[in-house]
Amino acid sequence: MPSVLITGASKGLGRATAEEFAARGHRVVATARDPRTLDDLDVDQRLALDVTDQASVDAAIAEAGDLDILVSNAGVIFHASVEATPPAELERLFSANTVGSIRTAQAVLPQMRTRGSGRLLFLSSVVGRVVLPGNAAYAATKWALEALVEELAIEVGHFGIHASLIEPGAISTGALDDVLRYALPDDPYAPLMSQRGDVFSSMLTPAEVATAIVDAAEMDSPPLRVPVGASTVQTLTARDGAPFDGAVPGHPPRLVRSRLCEPAPN
């Protein structure tokens, strides 16, 4: 029975993923900063794990024992223009979303290398490959994660370990209903932010994304990138085909990804 450890399993996608793995017969180790939030999850182990704390990660991995699969799901988000982004908050996002994911992977890799097998699944996002107004900080953490995991996949492949990036669009977990926001006084970027519109006309359910995660974990040779959802595939296809536009005199070329990224009218 394969064993899987999931970070950020207290709610939303992490919880749905724990339930899907358990339903398919895996031994599930669900983790969260406060393990009491896991009490009603029908899994094999419920452990405290804070991905931003090395001692917490080490203790949880030691208590979990042998692990075949890691699902690195824990993360945080806020919305802001780049100018309005507090540097300390940007560091907090990178600590949880990027460094925390790599820290946890580093903790499980020695046993996987010794065994010669394993699966590392990292929750990225469609915004790990395309930026939307107001979402640069979160996107940056995912872009950085994509680079690290792409290199990691090359490195650990020599030891029979697969590393994959799961790239869903917006998920109906409720996490975006009341997102922390930062803005400048009389925010000059408000017109641009309003151009975001309804980028994803239909949100994915946590169950849909959880199914994609477990499907990838059970593949013999999972791909490096797993886009999830039709709108995600459409967005990435449009982004990859976007032209360079250098038509503004006195300014360097810019990559036009969509009309959402055009300057707001004066």
CB atoms within 10 A of CB 125: 27
CA distance 101 to 263: 34
Q: Could you give the 3-state DSSP secondary structure of residue 121?
A: strand
CA distance 23 to 2: 13
Count helices and strands (H / E) in the chain: 8, 11
Phi (first) and psi of residue 225, to 5 degrees: -115, 135
The token duo for 264 is 């707001």
CA distance 81 to 181: 9
The token duo for 180 is 């922390």
CA distance 132 to 195: 9
Q: Could you give the 3-state DSSP secondary structure of residue 10?
A: coil
Residue in 21, 78, 122, 138 annotated catalytic: 138
Does the active-site annotation cover 182?
Answer: no
First to last CA, the chain: 61
Classify burial at 261, counting beta carbons within 10 Å of its beta carbon; exposed 0-12, middle 13-18, buried 19 or more. Answer: middle
| Sequence-separated (6 or more) residues with CB below 8 Å from residue 132 | 139, 196, 199, 260, 261
Residue reference for tokens 């042998």? 66
Catalytically active residues are 138
